[in-house]
Chain A
Amino acid sequence: MLAFAFRKVLTLVGTMIGIAALTFVITNVAPGDPARLVAGPNATEDMVTTIRTEYGLDKSLPEQFVVYMSDLVTGDLGQSIVTTRPVLEEVLRYAPATLELVFVAMALGIIVGVPMGMLSAVYKDGPIDHATRIFSISGVALPAFWFGIILQLTFAVDLGWLPVSGRLPLVTRPPETVTGLLLVDSLLAGRLDTFWTSLRHIILPAIVLSFPCLASILRVNRAEMIEVLQSDYIVAARAHGIASFRIVAIYALKNALLPTLAMIGLRFGWMLGSTVLVETVFDWPGIGLYAVSSALSSDFKPVIGVTLVIGFFFIVANTLVDLAYAWIDPRLRSA
């Protein structure tokens, strides 16, 4: 198991290097002069030359690559043109908000998706099954940004139950930063009212973000449950008189959970990508919004920085999924 984990971590490092190389390629396939892009449309020739030397753009590509990679190793993701602050610093400042949103959305997806998948598998072709099937296909087809707007219109504007956007009202003093996750920090600081406020703020974006994820977790879990429930060892368990509930909830679920786990890992990355949309709609101050506003102002370094960070989170999540796989499946452990 330890060797397995070690191998996985090695792969993680390798993939990270690959992603760094990929972002370097993207930076350099762009047509036109990157220095001019950085300098902006009104820059003089002098300014462009200065920027070119300053950014090391006058060096050969392999040299630039070496510089780029060694900068990354030391945590230097470059500087934002708009704010003139180091990208790493800003990304680290915005990341907790995104992670908080993704964690809550993921929890929603799993807590609702897995039991619903089980239910519709057990009552296959019944009314529950039909309802979940329609629900799950619509879930994937809903445009997140549009769904967000509709929810805002309904629950915030019309009904006034929940705040329209943001993470905390300006007037509320955020709790002392420990984890960066407001829900956790407010509890640690013992401020239940702040907890409640931030919970109210996170509900809508989390629902929007979790919807497609919930739908696909549900689908995979349902399909796997159906297949497992038809398998020989479940027939055998039934024949040996084991109670139905135990068969479904323990014997079958554990087997069906493996592919569901893979889907959860996959959807985690997908969610990180979708934060770009959801954070824009809800003005959620996370890395997604940061990336979008930077991209719109042709501030390229932060976009690359965010891409790297999102890639990193995704790979870490997938590595954890792989480890969970091995923990559940003895066949992998001994391999």
Chain B
Amino acid sequence: MTTPVELSRPLTFRERHESKIRQWRLYAHMFGKSFSSMLGLGLVVIFLLLAAFGPWLAPYPEDTVGAFNMANKLMGPSAAHWFGTDEMGSDILSRVIIGARTSLWIGLIITGVGAIIGVPLGIIAGYRGGWVRAVIMRITELFLAVPGLALALAIVAALGPGITNCVLALSLVWWPGYVRLVEAKTLSVKEELFVESARSIGAKTPWILWHHILPNCMSPIIVKMSMDMGMAILSAASLGFIGLGAQPPAPEWGAMISVARTYMPDWWWYSLFPGAAIFLTVLGFNLLGDGLRDILDPRSRDR
């Protein structure tokens, strides 16, 4: 480090935030260097653009709101219909594009609800210990003891099929993952001397949680949220495929494949393209999360 010189004039913004700027540039450099991270970022950006501007990008937007054209039904990919058409003669490309928005909402809600419930519980369980931790962790473990998809299936079966119930069910099974992650992280951060140091200067518990524990738990939370966006979309599509999630003819990728399956094997494109959309979206979020982990948490770079 260069030896700092005492200056009389006030420092410029750049000088004051030199450390921070350098840190962000290093992050950007490391992220940009990795092909898989950039690929993930690219896929996620495309997905977000489709979700944002879908209705303007889709060649036949009316096909996604119930318009049908039986003359065109089940046509293979062509110049007019790049991804072909479905049994109602609707353009599959348009339906895949519009489906991005549905998936984005699904992913955001499930991950968001999961984190909002899970993170505070995890921090409290990890920091407080004792019976509070015992109660929170027992309940968490209970939820984790049944595979998520099976539990979500049971909840949807109880609530009745539909996209809303599907998102609700998945949110209900999603939070325990955050509790476990954050609790483990809090347990280790809490042992750090700086937490004891904050206590020794008389900091109250909320101050310590907010200023010391949470910032040090953020990296794994961000990574998990990125990955979970993909996994939540995948899970919702799975329930849609089974027939318990979004109901056809809603333009949801899983539900589309569910219908497409009955048109196998002769009309292969029908299931191919929605599936590819799911795969690339989930892949994008996973690669992004992986790339973020590389730069945010260098110690576990190889995980």
Contact = CB atoms under 8 A, between A and B. Distances in A.
Interface of A: 15, 18-19, 22-23, 26-27, 29-31, 124, 133-134, 137-138, 140-147, 149-150, 152-153, 157, 219-220, 222-223, 226-227, 269-274, 276-277, 280-281, 291-292, 294-296, 298, 300, 303-304, 306-307, 310-311, 314-315, 318
Interface in B259-282: 261, 264-265, 268, 271-272, 274-275, 278-279, 282
B147 A15 contact: no
B265 A152 contact: yes
B14 interface: no
A157 B159 CA distance: 38
A138 B148 CA distance: 20
B231 to A, nearest CB: 8
Contacts of A23: 154
A143 B279 contact: yes
B286 A141 contact: yes
21 contacts: A18-B145, A26-B158, A30-B158, A31-B159, A137-B287, A140-B282, A145-B254, A149-B257, A152-B265, A157-B264, A269-B145, A270-B147, A270-B148, A274-B147, A295-B153, A296-B242, A298-B160, A300-B158, A306-B150, A311-B145, A314-B147
The B contact surface, by secondary structure, is helix
A134 B153 contact: no
Contacts of B274: 146
Interface stretch (B78-86, B89-97, B120-128, B135-143): B135-143
Nearest to A304: B154
Contact of B153 (A144, A153, A276): A276
B283 A277 contact: no
A141 B261 contact: no
A276 B143 CA distance: 18
A219 to B, nearest CB: 7
Given A141-B230, A296-B244, A307-B151, A15 B282 contact: no
Interface stretch (B20-28, B52-60, B104-112, B233-241): B233-241
Interface string B286-298: 1100100000000
Given A149-B264, A296-B242, A296-B244, 7 more contacts: A137-B286, A144-B238, A146-B271, A222-B302, A291-B153, A303-B157, A314-B145
B229 to A, nearest CB: 12
Contacts of B154: 23, 26, 303-304, 307
Contacts of A145: 238, 241, 254, 257
Contacts of A18: 138, 142, 145
B261 A137 contact: no
Contact of B156 (A27, A220, A295): A295
Nearest to B258: A145
Interface string B16-57: 000000000000000000001000000000000000000000
B242 A292 contact: yes
Interface of B: 36, 138, 141-143, 145-151, 153-161, 230-231, 234, 237-238, 241-244, 254, 257, 261, 264-265, 268, 271-272, 274-275, 278-279, 282-283, 286-287, 290, 300, 302-303
**For A15, A146, A292, which residue has the most chain B Cβ atoms within 10 angstroms?**
A146
Contacts of B160: 30, 298
B282 A143 contact: yes
Given A223-B303, A276-B150, A314-B147, A143 B237 contact: yes
Given A133-B36, A149-B257, A306-B150, A141 B282 contact: yes
Contacts of B150: 272-273, 276, 291, 306-307, 310-311
Nearest to A313: B147
A134 B237 contact: no
Contact of A280 (B242, B278, B287): B242
A270 B246 CA distance: 22
Given A157-B265, A295-B153, A137 B36 contact: yes
